[in-house]
Amino acid sequence: MLINTRSKEFAIESILLAVSALAVVILILISIFLFREGAALFKDIPFLDFLTGKNWHPTSVPPVFGLLPLLLGTLLVTAGAIVIAVPLGIASAVFISEIAPPNVAEILKPIVEILAGVPSVVYGFFGLVVLIPRLQQLLDLPTGQTALAGSIMLGIMALPTIISISEDAISSVPDFLKEGSLALGATRWQTIYRVTVPAALSGISAAVMLGMGRAIGETMTVMMVTGNAAVIPGFPGGIFAPVKTMTATIALEMGEVPQGSEHYHALFAIGAVLFVITLLINLIAEAVKRKYRFKVGS
Protein backbone atom coordinates (compact mmCIF):
# COMPACT_ATOMS: atom_id res chain seq x y z
CA MET A 1 0.00 0.00 0.00
CA LEU A 2 2.83 2.38 0.90
CA ILE A 3 4.61 1.63 -2.38
CA ASN A 4 1.43 2.29 -4.37
CA THR A 5 0.91 5.59 -2.57
CA ARG A 6 4.48 6.68 -3.27
CA SER A 7 4.12 5.66 -6.93
CA LYS A 8 0.97 7.73 -7.26
CA GLU A 9 2.62 10.73 -5.60
CA PHE A 10 5.65 10.39 -7.89
CA ALA A 11 3.38 10.17 -10.96
CA ILE A 12 1.42 13.26 -9.90
CA GLU A 13 4.61 15.20 -9.19
CA SER A 14 6.03 14.15 -12.57
CA ILE A 15 2.88 15.28 -14.39
CA LEU A 16 2.86 18.64 -12.61
CA LEU A 17 6.56 19.13 -13.35
CA ALA A 18 6.04 18.26 -17.02
CA VAL A 19 3.09 20.66 -17.35
CA SER A 20 5.03 23.46 -15.65
CA ALA A 21 8.07 22.86 -17.83
CA LEU A 22 5.89 22.81 -20.96
CA ALA A 23 4.37 26.18 -19.99
CA VAL A 24 7.84 27.66 -19.49
CA VAL A 25 9.08 26.28 -22.80
CA ILE A 26 6.04 27.64 -24.66
CA LEU A 27 6.56 31.07 -23.10
CA ILE A 28 10.24 31.04 -24.07
CA LEU A 29 9.43 30.03 -27.66
CA ILE A 30 6.80 32.78 -27.96
CA SER A 31 9.30 35.31 -26.61
CA ILE A 32 12.00 34.20 -29.05
CA PHE A 33 9.60 34.41 -31.99
CA LEU A 34 8.31 37.82 -30.91
CA PHE A 35 11.72 39.40 -30.42
CA ARG A 36 13.20 37.77 -33.53
CA GLU A 37 10.46 39.15 -35.77
CA GLY A 38 10.57 42.55 -34.09
CA ALA A 39 14.36 42.82 -34.22
CA ALA A 40 14.29 42.41 -38.01
CA LEU A 41 12.90 45.96 -38.26
CA PHE A 42 16.08 47.44 -36.81
CA LYS A 43 18.28 46.27 -39.66
CA ASP A 44 17.12 49.33 -41.60
CA ILE A 45 15.63 51.57 -38.87
CA PRO A 46 17.59 52.50 -35.72
CA PHE A 47 15.93 51.40 -32.51
CA LEU A 48 16.01 54.89 -30.99
CA ASP A 49 14.36 56.35 -34.09
CA PHE A 50 11.59 53.79 -33.73
CA LEU A 51 11.19 54.36 -30.00
CA THR A 52 11.24 58.17 -30.14
CA GLY A 53 9.66 58.74 -33.54
CA LYS A 54 6.73 61.15 -33.42
CA ASN A 55 4.82 59.88 -36.44
CA TRP A 56 3.23 56.54 -37.33
CA HIS A 57 2.57 56.47 -41.08
CA PRO A 58 3.15 52.87 -42.21
CA THR A 59 1.51 53.37 -45.64
CA SER A 60 3.40 56.51 -46.64
CA VAL A 61 6.31 56.49 -49.10
CA PRO A 62 8.72 55.94 -47.47
CA PRO A 63 6.90 54.46 -44.44
CA VAL A 64 7.42 56.10 -41.06
CA PHE A 65 7.38 53.98 -37.91
CA GLY A 66 7.42 56.14 -34.79
CA LEU A 67 6.26 54.44 -31.61
CA LEU A 68 5.98 57.54 -29.41
CA PRO A 69 2.33 58.51 -30.21
CA LEU A 70 1.20 54.91 -29.69
CA LEU A 71 3.19 54.52 -26.48
CA LEU A 72 1.94 57.81 -25.01
CA GLY A 73 -1.62 57.02 -26.04
CA THR A 74 -1.40 53.66 -24.29
CA LEU A 75 0.09 55.16 -21.12
CA LEU A 76 -2.47 57.98 -21.04
CA VAL A 77 -5.44 55.63 -21.35
CA THR A 78 -3.96 53.19 -18.83
CA ALA A 79 -3.15 55.93 -16.30
CA GLY A 80 -6.69 57.26 -16.54
CA ALA A 81 -8.08 53.76 -16.05
CA ILE A 82 -5.95 53.21 -12.96
CA VAL A 83 -6.98 56.57 -11.47
CA ILE A 84 -10.61 55.50 -11.87
CA ALA A 85 -10.31 51.83 -10.92
CA VAL A 86 -7.91 51.80 -7.96
CA PRO A 87 -9.85 53.96 -5.44
CA LEU A 88 -13.21 52.49 -6.46
CA GLY A 89 -11.84 48.96 -6.45
CA ILE A 90 -10.16 49.16 -3.05
CA ALA A 91 -13.16 50.93 -1.51
CA SER A 92 -15.50 48.27 -2.89
CA ALA A 93 -13.24 45.49 -1.59
CA VAL A 94 -13.20 47.06 1.88
CA PHE A 95 -16.99 47.39 1.81
CA ILE A 96 -17.54 43.76 0.77
CA SER A 97 -15.02 42.36 3.24
CA GLU A 98 -15.42 44.59 6.30
CA ILE A 99 -18.67 46.55 6.16
CA ALA A 100 -21.38 44.76 4.17
CA PRO A 101 -23.61 42.27 6.01
CA PRO A 102 -22.68 38.65 5.23
CA ASN A 103 -25.80 38.02 3.12
CA VAL A 104 -25.07 41.13 1.03
CA ALA A 105 -21.39 40.24 0.62
CA GLU A 106 -22.33 36.74 -0.55
CA ILE A 107 -24.35 38.33 -3.36
CA LEU A 108 -21.89 41.08 -4.32
CA LYS A 109 -18.77 38.88 -4.61
CA PRO A 110 -20.20 36.52 -7.27
CA ILE A 111 -21.60 39.47 -9.21
CA VAL A 112 -18.17 41.10 -9.29
CA GLU A 113 -16.56 37.85 -10.45
CA ILE A 114 -19.17 37.45 -13.20
CA LEU A 115 -18.33 40.95 -14.46
CA ALA A 116 -14.71 39.83 -14.90
CA GLY A 117 -15.88 37.23 -17.41
CA VAL A 118 -17.85 39.60 -19.65
CA PRO A 119 -16.21 39.69 -23.13
CA SER A 120 -14.32 42.87 -23.91
CA VAL A 121 -16.32 43.40 -27.10
CA VAL A 122 -19.45 43.76 -24.96
CA TYR A 123 -17.79 46.51 -22.93
CA GLY A 124 -16.62 48.13 -26.16
CA PHE A 125 -20.11 48.03 -27.65
CA PHE A 126 -21.57 49.54 -24.49
CA GLY A 127 -18.99 52.32 -24.60
CA LEU A 128 -19.63 52.96 -28.29
CA VAL A 129 -23.41 53.11 -27.98
CA VAL A 130 -23.94 54.56 -24.50
CA LEU A 131 -20.81 56.31 -23.19
CA ILE A 132 -19.43 58.04 -26.28
CA PRO A 133 -22.59 60.00 -27.25
CA ARG A 134 -23.03 61.18 -23.67
CA LEU A 135 -19.42 62.30 -23.33
CA GLN A 136 -19.67 64.17 -26.60
CA GLN A 137 -22.84 65.92 -25.50
CA LEU A 138 -21.82 66.56 -21.90
CA LEU A 139 -18.34 67.92 -22.65
CA ASP A 140 -19.26 69.52 -26.01
CA LEU A 141 -16.55 67.59 -27.88
CA PRO A 142 -16.19 67.10 -31.65
CA THR A 143 -16.22 63.36 -31.00
CA GLY A 144 -16.80 61.19 -27.96
CA GLN A 145 -14.16 58.68 -29.08
CA THR A 146 -11.39 59.96 -26.85
CA ALA A 147 -8.76 58.83 -24.38
CA LEU A 148 -11.24 59.63 -21.61
CA ALA A 149 -13.75 57.16 -23.02
CA GLY A 150 -11.02 54.52 -23.18
CA SER A 151 -9.95 55.24 -19.60
CA ILE A 152 -13.50 54.97 -18.28
CA MET A 153 -14.15 51.68 -20.06
CA LEU A 154 -10.79 50.18 -19.08
CA GLY A 155 -11.35 51.35 -15.50
CA ILE A 156 -14.68 49.52 -15.46
CA MET A 157 -13.03 46.41 -16.92
CA ALA A 158 -10.20 46.47 -14.37
CA LEU A 159 -12.56 46.87 -11.40
CA PRO A 160 -13.59 43.18 -11.06
CA THR A 161 -9.94 42.06 -10.95
CA ILE A 162 -8.94 44.69 -8.39
CA ILE A 163 -12.04 44.14 -6.23
CA SER A 164 -11.86 40.35 -6.20
CA ILE A 165 -8.15 40.02 -5.39
CA SER A 166 -8.17 42.93 -2.92
CA GLU A 167 -11.17 41.46 -1.12
CA ASP A 168 -9.40 38.12 -0.79
CA ALA A 169 -6.32 39.87 0.61
CA ILE A 170 -8.33 41.91 3.10
CA SER A 171 -10.36 38.88 4.21
CA SER A 172 -7.15 36.94 4.86
CA VAL A 173 -5.86 39.48 7.41
CA PRO A 174 -5.74 37.65 10.79
CA ASP A 175 -8.55 38.51 13.17
CA PHE A 176 -6.15 39.04 16.08
CA LEU A 177 -4.73 42.14 14.36
CA LYS A 178 -8.19 43.71 14.11
CA GLU A 179 -9.18 42.61 17.60
CA GLY A 180 -5.95 44.02 19.04
CA SER A 181 -6.59 47.36 17.37
CA LEU A 182 -10.13 47.52 18.68
CA ALA A 183 -8.96 46.49 22.15
CA LEU A 184 -6.54 49.43 22.18
CA GLY A 185 -9.42 51.82 21.63
CA ALA A 186 -9.32 52.33 17.87
CA THR A 187 -12.61 52.81 16.09
CA ARG A 188 -13.81 50.48 13.36
CA TRP A 189 -12.75 52.93 10.62
CA GLN A 190 -9.35 53.52 12.22
CA THR A 191 -8.81 49.77 12.35
CA ILE A 192 -9.71 49.43 8.67
CA TYR A 193 -7.37 52.10 7.29
CA ARG A 194 -4.55 51.81 9.86
CA VAL A 195 -4.42 48.04 10.40
CA THR A 196 -6.46 45.98 7.94
CA VAL A 197 -5.57 47.74 4.70
CA PRO A 198 -1.82 48.08 5.48
CA ALA A 199 -1.68 44.40 6.47
CA ALA A 200 -3.31 43.46 3.15
CA LEU A 201 -1.20 45.88 1.11
CA SER A 202 0.81 43.07 -0.46
CA GLY A 203 -2.30 41.50 -1.99
CA ILE A 204 -3.81 44.88 -2.84
CA SER A 205 -0.67 45.91 -4.73
CA ALA A 206 -0.83 42.66 -6.69
CA ALA A 207 -4.47 43.40 -7.51
CA VAL A 208 -3.59 46.88 -8.75
CA MET A 209 -0.78 45.55 -10.93
CA LEU A 210 -3.01 42.86 -12.40
CA GLY A 211 -5.65 45.49 -13.09
CA MET A 212 -3.00 47.64 -14.77
CA GLY A 213 -1.95 44.64 -16.85
CA ARG A 214 -5.56 44.10 -17.89
CA ALA A 215 -5.85 47.74 -18.90
CA ILE A 216 -2.55 48.03 -20.78
CA GLY A 217 -3.12 44.79 -22.68
CA GLU A 218 -6.76 45.35 -23.64
CA THR A 219 -7.44 45.52 -27.38
CA MET A 220 -11.03 45.37 -28.54
CA THR A 221 -12.51 47.95 -26.17
CA VAL A 222 -9.89 50.64 -26.78
CA MET A 223 -10.06 49.99 -30.50
CA MET A 224 -13.80 50.75 -30.43
CA VAL A 225 -13.86 53.82 -28.17
CA THR A 226 -10.58 55.78 -28.43
CA GLY A 227 -10.81 57.06 -32.02
CA ASN A 228 -7.54 55.43 -33.21
CA ALA A 229 -5.72 58.66 -34.10
CA ALA A 230 -1.94 58.12 -34.04
CA VAL A 231 -1.04 61.54 -32.67
CA ILE A 232 0.96 62.56 -29.60
CA PRO A 233 -1.61 63.49 -26.95
CA GLY A 234 -1.21 66.83 -25.21
CA PHE A 235 -1.66 67.27 -21.50
CA PRO A 236 -4.17 67.77 -20.02
CA GLY A 237 -6.20 68.38 -23.18
CA GLY A 238 -5.12 65.08 -24.72
CA ILE A 239 -7.49 63.18 -22.45
CA PHE A 240 -10.37 64.73 -24.44
CA ALA A 241 -8.88 63.91 -27.86
CA PRO A 242 -8.69 60.69 -29.89
CA VAL A 243 -5.62 58.50 -29.36
CA LYS A 244 -4.30 55.21 -30.67
CA THR A 245 -2.91 52.49 -28.41
CA MET A 246 -0.29 49.89 -29.21
CA THR A 247 -2.67 46.96 -28.85
CA ALA A 248 -5.26 48.56 -31.13
CA THR A 249 -2.56 49.25 -33.72
CA ILE A 250 -1.55 45.59 -33.83
CA ALA A 251 -5.16 44.42 -34.06
CA LEU A 252 -6.12 46.92 -36.77
CA GLU A 253 -3.08 46.55 -39.00
CA MET A 254 -1.74 43.00 -38.65
CA GLY A 255 -4.38 41.50 -40.95
CA GLU A 256 -3.49 43.83 -43.81
CA VAL A 257 0.32 43.74 -43.91
CA PRO A 258 2.41 41.50 -46.20
CA GLN A 259 4.35 38.93 -44.22
CA GLY A 260 8.01 39.85 -43.91
CA SER A 261 7.53 43.53 -44.74
CA GLU A 262 8.84 46.42 -42.64
CA HIS A 263 5.33 47.13 -41.45
CA TYR A 264 4.96 43.48 -40.40
CA HIS A 265 8.16 43.59 -38.35
CA ALA A 266 7.19 46.98 -36.88
CA LEU A 267 4.00 45.47 -35.44
CA PHE A 268 6.04 42.69 -33.86
CA ALA A 269 8.37 45.34 -32.44
CA ILE A 270 5.33 46.98 -30.82
CA GLY A 271 4.43 43.61 -29.34
CA ALA A 272 7.95 43.25 -27.98
CA VAL A 273 7.70 46.65 -26.29
CA LEU A 274 4.38 45.62 -24.73
CA PHE A 275 6.03 42.43 -23.52
CA VAL A 276 8.81 44.39 -21.82
CA ILE A 277 6.34 46.82 -20.24
CA THR A 278 4.27 43.94 -18.85
CA LEU A 279 7.42 42.27 -17.52
CA LEU A 280 8.46 45.48 -15.76
CA ILE A 281 4.99 45.81 -14.21
CA ASN A 282 5.22 42.26 -12.87
CA LEU A 283 8.72 42.88 -11.46
CA ILE A 284 7.53 46.05 -9.74
CA ALA A 285 4.53 44.18 -8.32
CA GLU A 286 6.82 41.46 -6.95
CA ALA A 287 9.12 44.07 -5.39
CA VAL A 288 6.20 45.84 -3.74
CA LYS A 289 4.82 42.56 -2.41
CA ARG A 290 8.16 41.64 -0.88
CA LYS A 291 8.61 45.08 0.65
CA TYR A 292 5.26 45.15 2.39
CA ARG A 293 5.41 41.50 3.45
CA PHE A 294 8.65 42.37 5.24
CA LYS A 295 7.07 45.38 6.91
CA VAL A 296 4.05 43.43 8.13
CA GLY A 297 6.23 40.56 9.30
CA SER A 298 8.53 42.86 11.19
The pLDDT tens digits of the residues spanning 179-214 come to 888 888 888 888 888 888 888 888 888 888 888 887
- Name residue 297's amino acid: G
Residue 177 and residue 226 share a domain: yes
Nearest to 270 by CA among 240, 247, 292: 247
Predicted confidence at residue 93, as pLDDT, reads 92
- The CA distance from 247 to 182, in Å, is 48
**pLDDT (0 to 100) of residue 71:** 92
Domain shared by 39 and 52, yes or no: no
Q: pLDDT tens for residues 84-119?
A: 999 999 999 999 988 888 888 888 888 888 888 888
pLDDT at 259 over 90: no
Residues 55 and 14 in one domain: no
Q: How many helices (H) and strands (E) does the chain have?
A: 14, 2
Query: Average pLDDT, stretch 18-47?
Result: 90
Number of compact structural domains in the chain:
2
Q: What is the pTM of this model?
A: 0.85
Residue 9, pLDDT score? 81
Cα 156 to chain centroid distance, Å, stands at 12
* Same-domain pairing of 147 and 286: yes
Neighbouring-strand partners of residue 64: 57
Cross-strand partners of 266: none
Q: Are 227 and 255 in contact (CB under 8 A)?
A: no
Q: Is residue 108 domain-shared with residue 10, that is, in the same domain?
A: no
pLDDT at 89: 92
- Residue 35 belongs to what domain range? 2-43
pLDDT tens by residue, 142-192: 888 999 999 999 999 999 989 988 988 888 888 888 888 888 888 888 888
Same domain, 66 and 204: yes
Q: 114 with 235, same domain?
A: yes
Same domain for 283 and 171, yes or no, is yes
Residue 24: its pLDDT value, please? 92
Rg of the Cα atoms in the chain: 23
Asked if 93 and 114 sit in the same domain, the reply is yes
- CATH number, domain at 93? 1.10.3720.10
